[in-house]
Amino acid sequence: MNFRAVRAIYKFEMSRTFRTLLQSVVSPVVSTSLYFVVFGSAIGSRITQVEGVSYGTFIVPGLVMLSVLTQSITNASFGIYFPKFVGTIYEILSAPVSYVEIVLGYVGAAATKSIIVGLIILATAGLFVPLHIHHPIWMLIFLILTSVTFSLFGFIIGIWADGFEKLQMIPLLIITPLTFLGGSFYSISMLPSGWQTVALFNPVVYLISGFRWSFYEIADVSVAVSIGMTLGFLAICMGIVWWIFKTGYRLKN
Amino acid sequence: MSPIISISGLSKTYATGFMALKTIDLGINRGEIFALLGPNGAGKTTLISIICGIANPSTGHVLVDGHDIQRDYRAARSLIGLVPQELHTDAFESVWGTVSFSRGLFGKPKNPAHIEKVLRDLSLWDKKDSKIVTLSGGMKRRVMIAKALSHEPQILFLDEPTAGVDVELRKGMWDVMRTLQASGVTIILTTHYIEEAEEMADRVGVINKGEIILVEEKAKLMQKLGRKRMKLHLGSPLTEVPTALSTYNLALADDGKELVYTYDTKSERTGITSLLADLRDAGIKFTDLETTQSSLEDIFVSLVRA
């Protein structure tokens, strides 16, 4: 294992994050505050409680997930797409590193950044509503699992994309709608019964449900199913990454 | 002595069906400077990319100091430094940062003294804290060389190292290459400048349309290079070379209107004076005279066009 290489890639990616600190940290804080003003105050004045939790408090896990998902995908996809775009990828490919080490470096850095952003949003939310986390360990496990899984997914997008449009397409057209429809701002039980069934095909529902359970012990689906689905998606992403490096897809041809 | 790089049966066909490399067999000797010449699209960069791990070969094997580039890629790649043709740099990184990154990527422990030496040798020391985006093209190229040398490679690939570099800087690069060779590094360089191959290389290889069409010691090529041709435009055409001039190995060209004499510039007597005297004696008049030197470039062009 070439740990020095993993560290070099990780450090490089993290320093890229710190160079853009304002954009990386301030913008999620601002947008979270906006969500609280719009959703928490405007809608929260009409829906006072969801399953025994005040509406403002109820949306916190969903808001954190919303940011963690988009941040993970954006960071990881950009992290690997940019060297491809400017050509510096040549050095990574010609270095004595295995694909596991490359993925550890890039995905590790992207996941670290989205975990940091997730925790910052949580802290920001704490300024607006009282927070109580029933299962902090599980909360962290869900946060880390989701960050890693979606950073891997972003890494795949970054390798697949051959233009900036494709790079933006998946987060904008698939992830954002899935997150909004995945119960960030409501409980699935609030939907008409037909739509409840449709919602179960949305993988994000399981992530948000499990994450929300770690806060308030309320969930749309059972926690075991949430964890199972997350691990399943993680396994699929790992499989695709393995295939990419085995065949050299979009990297070595 | 076994070659440090041995390439056997290597080919590359892209997904589009384009065959960039046909069967390549080539050995690079330890410690030599090998110049790979070829027109654009001949397959130079593809060949280098495969050896360095940037592209997958379609068939064939490459051994780097005995290590297979695919099965034993870690050992093979850690011996190689690569300076690609294009200036690929992380614009906002500092010179010191990017060179240190390369060393880490190749799994070498930190060694600020070595990086300082590399930067000083390449006259980049006073720019070590500058962002790459602020550097000139020539400096960026030296940064790329510094990155390649950061992990103390045994083999250095230089893909068009002096393209777009001014004369003074090119001479500086040549000095760097000589110093590296003296320290035991094997250098493979591709170049468009025949002059550069003449100046630097121990051996020259010519690649065209994905095939190696010539590999020769530069000294042998230079023997061919040393020959000159003198062409005399005759006043009236000849049907054959007069017997009085048979010792000169003359040839007729352009339907007898031109008389061609080939001679060695390096020999003590070129024979030109006596030829001209004999021509006058034979009553052959000429209206004009030109001499041309066969250069590596001519050899190259004639090989590539064939």
pLDDT digits (tens, 9 = 90+) for B140-187: 989 999 999 999 999 999 998 877 777 888 888 888 899 999 999 999
Distance in angstroms (rounded) separating the CA atoms of residues B142 and B118: 10
Place of tokens 């399981």: A206
Instruction: Kindly determine whether residue A96 and residue B77, on different chains, have CB atoms separated by under 8 Å.
Output: yes
Q: Which of B72, B56, B77, B200 is nearest to A244 (CA)?
A: B56
Phi and psi based region of residue B137 (left: phi greater than 0; alpha: psi -120 to 50; beta: remaining): alpha
Query: Which residue stretches of chain A have pLDDT < 70?
Result: 253
Q: Which one of B78, B85, B105 would you mutate to disrupt binding with A, by most A Cβ within 10 Å of its Cβ?
A: B105
> Which residues of chain A have a CB within 8 Å of the CB of B75?
96
Please report the sign of the dihedral spanned by the C-alpha atoms of residue A90, residue A92, residue A98, residue A104.
negative
> Which residues of chain A have a CB within 8 Å of the CB of B106?
5, 95-96
List the single residue in A91, A92, A248 with the smallest CB-CB distance to B147. A91
Question: In the prediction, which pLDDT does A112 show?
Answer: 96
User: What pLDDT tens digit does each residue of chain B (306 aa) get?
Assistant: 689 999 999 999 998 999 999 999 999 999 999 999 888 888 999 999 999 999 999 999 999 999 999 999 999 999 999 999 888 888 889 999 999 999 999 999 999 999 999 999 888 999 999 999 999 888 898 999 999 999 999 999 999 887 777 788 888 888 889 999 999 999 999 987 777 888 899 999 989 899 998 898 988 877 766 677 888 898 888 888 888 888 888 888 888 888 888 887 667 778 888 888 888 888 888 899 888 776 667 777 777 776
CATH of domain B227-294: 3.30.70
Residues 6 or more apart from B185 whose CB is under 8 A from it?
B31, B153, B154, B155, B156
Find residue B68's DSSP bridge partners: B63
Spell A224-240 as b/e; 16+ CB within 10 A means b.
Answer: eebbebbeebbeebeeb
Q: Enumerate the domain spans of chain A.
A: 3-247
Residue B11, H or E segment: strand B5-13
List the single residue in A8, A15, A90 with the smallest CB-CB distance to B104. A8
Distances (CA, A) of B187 to A54, A214, B1, B45, B184: 70, 60, 17, 15, 9
Tokens of residue A129, six digits: 């509503």
Distance in angstroms (rounded) separating the CA atoms of residues B93 and B82: 19
Q: Which A-chain residues 127-186 have CB contacts (< 8 A) with chain B?
A: none
Q: What is the fold, at CATH topology level, of the domain defined by B5-223?
A: Rossmann fold (3.40.50)
Number of H helices, E strands in chain A: 13, 2
Q: Enumerate the domain spans of chain B.
A: 5-223, 227-294
Burial of B281 (0-12, 13-18, 19+ CB in 10 A): exposed
Question: In the prediction, which pLDDT does B294 show?
Answer: 65
Q: Residue A36: what residue type?
A: F
Distance in angstroms (rounded) separating the CA atoms of residues B51 and B70: 9
